Chains A and B, each alone.
Chain A
Amino acid sequence: MPENFPHLDPLVHAPARLHILSLLAHADELDFLFLLHATHLTRGNLSSHLSKLEQAGYIHVEKTFRGKYPLTLYRLSDRGREALRTYHQAMQSILDGLKPVLAPTRKRKRKP
């Protein structure tokens, strides 16, 4: 990737992981089932994305029980929030650059 183009963190850039991180950024804590409902991913797929984010230190995981149900809680870590912020800035810079060329064009009135 050339230096003059903003770097996009591939861990954040994947749509499913970006969705998960964005949801976590809005809440203090979410559990696995809520993420399953909200993202419409399969259990395996969601688990795999969450593991990658956990390994990168972007989220904190807490495993507990609520009655007979296992409850796995996820929280965005400071490192994850920083990664999301950096990603937002990079994306914003790309989108700002695209704005003039992607703005809807007005049709010119033809002279009769």
Chain B
Amino acid sequence: MSLPKTRPPWVRTLSAYWVVDGLPDLLVGCAFVVDAGWQTLTTLRPTPSLPVRLAFVLFVLAIAFGGRWLIQQAKWRLTYPRTGYVRYRPIFPRRQFYLLAAASLLFTAWLVFKAPQRILPLGIAAMLTAIFVWVGWHNLSKRYFLYAALAILSGGLSWWAAPAVPQPLAALLQVGTGVFLAVGLGLLGGGSLTLWRYLQLPSHQDDPDHA
């Protein structure tokens, strides 16, 4: 069996636009850490106040629908002359994208309602691992493989720590918090380091050969 082909290096320079400066890692890491915080909060206080619930819902919506816009704004402000600007053509043919989204939803529904309860945190971790491996493979970015390893490791530990007897869903989500917290902190650390290293690189703006 052969591995799927990566994109040619010159095509990767286009897709690397998103991952080269670590800003998406920071945004997704932030979302995961807030989610883990929310799970912990709802465990400590099962019915949080309305403003807190509203703030969480707004946060989730902002990340889901405005994440791309937020990253683009951060790029303009923090890394612009270095990164340049790319506006993409759609990556997926539409049909393929919807099929993938439907498969992910079905898998999530199976995890939540049908699968043995203990598998839930491991299943979430497996989905995250698959996404990180896909991104890492297509961009040949080592740090995404580290995130994938972190996700599957934390998922495995959560699975091991989860009680064998059936539990209410909330209790299992509490165990799953560890996955989001570990991966979120990993993404924040990796993203910060990548951004810091990226900002240390000489920009073509300052390069006399390109003046």
Give the residues in chain B near A31, CB-CB below 8 Å. Answer: 84-86
Interface assignment of A14: CB less than 8 Å from any CB of chain B: no
Kindly supply a per-residue 1/0 record for chain A positions 1-42, scoring 1 wherever the CB is within 8 Å of any chain B CB and 0 otherwise: 000000000000000000100110011111111111110001
Binds B, one of A51-59, A65-73, A94-102: A65-73
Closest Cβ of chain B: how far from A63's Cβ, in Å? 13
Kindly supply a per-residue 1/0 record for chain B positions 140-181, scoring 1 wherever the CB is within 8 Å of any chain A CB and 0 otherwise: 000000000000000000000000000000000000000000
Interface assignment of B87: CB less than 8 Å from any CB of chain A: yes
Closest Cβ of chain A: how far from B80's Cβ, in Å? 7
Q: From B11, B14, B80, B205, give the contact of A66 (CB < 8 A).
A: B80
Give the residues in chain A near B88, CB-CB below 8 Å. Answer: 27-28
Q: How many interface residues does B have (CB within 8 Å)?
A: 21
Give the residues in chain B near A42, CB-CB below 8 Å. Answer: 209-210
Bound Cα distance from A19 to B209, whole angstroms:
20
Bound Cα distance from A22 to B11, whole angstroms:
9
Assuming the contacts A33-B204, A36-B204, asked whether A27 and B81 have C-beta atoms less than 8 A apart, the reply is: no
Q: From B10, B80, B85, give the contact of A23 (CB < 8 A).
A: B10
Question: Which residue of chain A has its CB nearest to the CB of B17?
Answer: A34
Interface assignment of A88: CB less than 8 Å from any CB of chain B: no
* A interface residue numbers (CB < 8 A to B): 19, 22-23, 26-38, 42-43, 66-67, 69, 71, 73
